[in-house]
Amino acid sequence: MTFRFLHTADWQVGKPFGSVPGDAGSELRGQRIRTVRRIAELARERAVDAVLVAGDAFDSNDVKDKTIVQTLEALRGFEGPWVFLPGNHDAALAHSVWTRMRTLGLPPNVVIADTPTPIDCWGGRAQVLPAPLKRRREVLDQTAWFEEAATPEGACRIGLAHGSVAGRLPGGSEAANEIPEDRAARAGLSYLALGDWHGALEIAPRTYYSGTPETDRHRANRSAHVHLVETNGTRAPEQVETLAVGHYRWVALDLSLIDGTCTAALTELERLGDDPRRCVVSLRLSGSVSLTERRKLEAALRLWEARLHHLDVDDSALLDEPTADDLDAIDTAGFVRLAVDRLRARAEDPADPERDAARLALRLIYLDHRGRA
């Protein structure tokens, strides 16, 4: 018996993006719900049996009621069952986004898997075994009961859990709510749908992270996808298709300007492609540039700020290296030159406590001078 479903997780609807000010941040917030709508459309298009959300559908248990309602409305595009697993961000506490959702009026096709009991909405074709988190950090493995859970003969056993697979995730990720890597095998699961890791990843046999469908941070992983899964039973291999659904591209550029010019930075920005409006860029600059180049870079960055959805520049490691030409341009004689020479001496003195201020002062007077020019 074939069972087709979408595996998704970590929507984190309601994430505020406080560090992205103004409309850009607001857009990022709104996009997370629009992406949910996109998933609903996809579910309908692909005529799946269910959409399984493996935790953290909401960014926290105390998102606004409005956010919950908008999310429920975004689900309308798919009338089949939606199974929501409480994750660490939206744990099934005594009072949670789930209890609130029930009070706000739960559509009949939405199942909140907040108790460790098998779910069967598919007439015995499949059974979903959920491992909801009742707390943000569970000490015990919540999936342990899968092994004991009985399922009707021939039904696909789909595990639904949220946490980190012990010792398998890259980059030293948080080891909370641990799940044994052989859980799928030991519990005879057709597929173990996991949430928590934001990139799409097959972490163990029949064990998958779908990642977040809408990227929410600068991290090099395969985010912005959902898994379309098809399984025929406990023994048959699963078919997993990774579908891109995300809207915004989160790009982190870490550049060192070593030739005294800003060309490298500008080139990288040019390479972002033909839809910069979808890019959320973090630009970290180091190295050094002349004052002329600095001025050029700042002008260019102002332009890029307007073109990109959001540009976050960290140039604290980018040092000004005024050239003789820079300084001559300000003045070659007179008291201004005297002042410039003094500032330069201080800027070059590692022992000077106001070294950074002197460097910036040089840039300021240069910009003043160029502004006049």
Partner 1 sequence: MHIRRIEISDFRKIQHRKIEGLQDGLNIVVGDNEAGKSTMLAALRAVFFERHRVGGAVAESMLPYGGTLRPTVAVDFEIDGKAWSLTKAFCQRPEASLTGPGERIAGDAVEDRLAELFGFTPPGRGGSKPEEHQGTHGLLWVEQGTRINLGVGAGRDTLAAALEREVGQVTGGERGRALLAAAGERRDRFWDKRDKPRGEIVAQRKLVEELLREQDDLLARRRRYDEQIARLAAIEESLDRHRRDDRLNKAVVAVGTASRAMAEAEQRGSALKEADARFSEAERLTAEAKERRDHRAALVAKCAVARVAAEKSAIDAEETSTLARRRELALREAEARLKAARQTRETAEARGQAIEEALLRRRAQAGLTAQESTLAAAEAQMLQRREALARAEATTIDAETVTALVAAERAADRARAELEAASVQIAFEPDGVRQVTVDGVAYPPGELLSLARDAVLLLEGFGRLVLRPGGGTAALARKAEAAERVLRDALQRHGVPSVAEAQRALQARAAAQAEVASLTKAVAALAPQGIETLRQGVETERARLARPLGAAAAAFKDTADGLLLEDAKRSRNASRMVEQEAEQDMRAAAALHQTAATEAATLNERSAAAQRQERALAEELGGARTVADDDLLESRVTAAEASLAVARLGQESAHRALAAADPETARLVLERTERAEREIRRDLAALETERRDLQVELRAVGQDGIGERLTEIEGQLEASRAGLASAEREATASRLLHETLLIAQRESKDRWLGPVRRRVEPYLRLIHPDSEIRMDDRTLEIEGLVRDGVLESFGSLSMGAREQVAVITRLALADVLRAAGYPAAIILDDALVNTDETRLDRMHNVLTRAARTLQILIFTCRERDFLGLGATHRL
3-class secondary structure, 194: strand
User: How many Å apart are CA 350 and CA 68, to the nearest integer?
Assistant: 55
Q: Among the candidate windows 9-17, 125-133, 175-183, 195-203, which touches partner 1 by CB under 8 A?
A: 9-17
User: How many Å apart are CA 192 and CA 231, to the nearest integer?
Assistant: 11
- The only residue of 23, 45, 62, 182 in contact with partner 1, by rule CB under 8 A: 62
- The only residue of 6, 7, 15, 297 in contact with partner 1, by rule CB under 8 A: 15
Tell me the pairing of strands 279-289 and 310-320.
Answer: parallel
CA-closest candidate to residue 297, choices 274, 313, 317: 313
Instruction: Classify the C-alpha dihedral 68-71-73-76 as positive or negative.
Output: negative
Q: How far is the CB of 37 from partner 1 (least distance, A)?
A: 20
Task: Give the contact letters, 194-213, x = binds to partner 1 (CB under 8 A), - = no.
Answer: --------------------
User: How many Å apart are CA 171 and CA 228, to the nearest integer?
Assistant: 26
Q: Among the candidate windows 113-121, 165-173, 303-311, 351-359, which touches partner 1 by CB under 8 A?
A: 351-359
Q: How far is the CB of 314 from partner 1 (least distance, A)?
A: 9
CB of 203 or CB of 313, closer to partner 1:
313
- The only residue of 8, 71, 96, 190 in contact with partner 1, by rule CB under 8 A: 96
User: How many Å apart are CA 371 and CA 368, to the nearest integer?
Assistant: 5
CB of 123 or CB of 371, closer to partner 1:
371
CB of 93 or CB of 240, closer to partner 1:
93
Sheet holding 3-8, edge to edge: 110-112, 82-84, 50-53, 3-8, 225-231, 239-244
Q: How far is the CB of 321 from partner 1 (least distance, A)?
A: 16
Question: Scanning the structure block, which residue is given the tokens 């935790």?
Answer: 55
Task: Give the contact letters, 317-336, x = binds to partner 1 (CB under 8 A), - = no.
Answer: -------------xx-xxxx
Q: Where are the alpha helices (DSSP H) in 78-194?
A: 97-104, 183-186
Task: Give the contact letters, 232-271, x = binds to partner 1 (CB under 8 A), - = no.
Answer: ----------------------------------------
User: How many Å apart are CA 222 and CA 32, to the nearest integer?
Assistant: 17
CB of 64 or CB of 271, closer to partner 1:
64
Two structure tokens written together for 228: 């379309």
User: How many Å apart are CA 208 and CA 192, to the nearest integer?
Assistant: 6
- The only residue of 31, 35, 60, 190 in contact with partner 1, by rule CB under 8 A: 60
User: How many Å apart are CA 338 and CA 356, to the nearest integer?
Assistant: 19
Which amino acid is present at 54?
A: A
CB of 43 or CB of 313, closer to partner 1:
313
Do the Cβ atoms of 282 and 314 come closer than 8 Å? yes
User: How many Å apart are CA 246 and CA 39, to the nearest integer?
Assistant: 10
CB of 20 or CB of 272, closer to partner 1:
20
CB of 139 or CB of 150, closer to partner 1:
139
Q: Among the candidate windows 15-23, 39-47, 149-157, 275-283, which touches partner 1 by CB under 8 A?
A: 15-23
State the greatest distance between any 2 C-alpha atoms of the chain, in Å, as a whole number.
Answer: 94
Residues 16-45 that bind partner 1 (CB under 8 A): 16-21, 25
Residues 99-138 that bind partner 1 (CB under 8 A): 99-100, 103
Residues in touch with partner 1 (CB under 8 A): 14-21, 25, 59-67, 93-97, 99-100, 103, 330-331, 333-339, 342-343, 354, 356-361, 363-365, 368-369, 371-372
